Amino acid sequence: MEVTVDQDLCIACGDCIEICPEVFAWNEEGLSQAMVNPVPAQVEEECRQAVESCPTEAIKEKTH
C-alpha cells in the first residue's frame, strides 16, 4: 500500500496524523504528507482509517 496526500485538497485538519502518525506528518507548508512509502504492513489498517477519515478525500491510495 502506498499513499499520497493531494496538497491542493488537504485542509490541515490533522485527522490523518492523529489516526496514523506512523505514516502522516506535517510538512514545511503546514500540510499533511505521507512520510513512509510503502506503508508498513503493521500500520496499514490505521492508514486505511486515515484515508477514510479525511474530510476532503485528499489522501489517495496509489494503485499499481
Chain residues binding ligand SF4 by CB under 6 A are: 5, 10-16, 32, 54-56, 58-59
Closest distance to ligand SF4 from the beta carbon of 29 (Å): 11
Residue closer to ligand SF4, measured from CB, 16 or 39: 16
Closest distance to ligand SF4 from the beta carbon of 23 (Å): 10
| Residue 40 per-residue DSSP state | P
Residue closer to ligand SF4, measured from CB, 47 or 59: 59
